[in-house]
Structures are given as C-alpha cells and as structure tokens.
A = this chain, B = another copy of it.
Amino acid sequence: MRATIEGDQGDIRPGEMQIALPAAFDAGLYFIGQIRTPWTRREECPRRGAADGPVCRLEVDPLFAAALDGLAGAPRLQILYWMDRARRDLVRQTPRRDGLARGTFSIRSPVRPNPIASSIVALVALEPTAVLVRGLDCLDGTPLLDIKPESCAFDAPLGEAAGEAGRT
C-alpha cells in the first residue's frame, strides 16, 4: 500500500512540529458506511456531541448490514469513524483555542497520524441498514469504521470485553 496524504496540508503554527510520514501504510481500513449529520461545513459542527443533540444517521453498507443484528440491546454505542479531512503529519500542534503547543497524543484533536475518532452515543432507533443515534458532532458524509456496544455499559470498564487476541 502506497501512502497518500489526505486532508489539507495547511499552515504551521508557532510551536508545531511536522514530520515526513512513512512512505507506505501498515494496514488498511474498509469504510463500512457513512454518517449523516446536519453539519456540512466545519464551522457548523458543535465543539462536541451532546446527549440531547440532533439525531444522526449511521448508514451502513448493505454488505455489512447483517452485523447490526443484536444491537438493539445496547443503549450506548461506541462509534469509530475516519476524520478524512484531517492532516496526519503534525506530532506537535498548537490548538487555536489556547495557543499552547503540545504533543499530538496528549490531546484529542482530529490531527494525528491515524485520524480515528471514537465517540460514545445513545442508540435511538435501528433500521435494517442504518442506526440512529444522538451524541455525534462530525461532518455530514464522514466515513464510518466500526460500531461496538460501549464497554462501560456492561461488564468491561477497562479493555475489550471479548479478549484482544483471538476469537472467543
């Protein structure tokens, strides 16, 4: 896999550090669907999702629709999605809100080597190829990577519920 640079490669702010990313990727992702939200421009997105925010729609590719079976039993879900507009080459960054430079892994900025977002949402309704949820804050059309029951909601406050390493 040859790496391509996604997102804007905009300005460098004071204190930021840019790196040359590796020439190739190490693993690949499938987009399993897309997220429909009311926000079509970055400036419109709320700073973070809210439990009483608007209902958003996780549209799941029909290929993966059978994987939704059983989801009705999970009141809260963990959603992983791909922040496809974010640059990936800053290891130090300076958020506009406070102007303080710090390491990328010490903040939850979308700008990071692997721009995977993780949000906890409330399940509102389930359709054959879609899931309606509250609590997101992303752009309309954001690629969806995964849906899991929230681990804190049942018996696994730390770690994965089913073991990391293999089938259980």
Residues of A within 8 A of B (CB): 1-4, 6, 10, 17, 19, 21-22, 25-32, 39, 42, 45-51, 63-71, 73-74, 78, 80-88, 91-93, 95-97, 102-114, 116-121, 135-139, 142-143, 145-149, 151, 156-168
Contact = CB atoms under 8 A, between A and B. Distances in A.
Nearest to A28: B25
A168 to B, nearest CB: 5
B28 A163 contact: no
Contacts of A93: 167
A51 B30 CA distance: 32
Oligomer copy total? 2
Nearest to A167: B111
Nearest to A21: B30
Contacts of A162: 47, 95, 107-110
A139 B159 contact: no
Given A71-B103, A93-B167, A110-B160, 17 more contacts: A1-B25, A3-B30, A19-B63, A25-B28, A27-B28, A27-B29, A28-B29, A42-B165, A64-B113, A68-B103, A70-B103, A80-B118, A85-B166, A86-B166, A86-B167, A114-B146, A121-B158
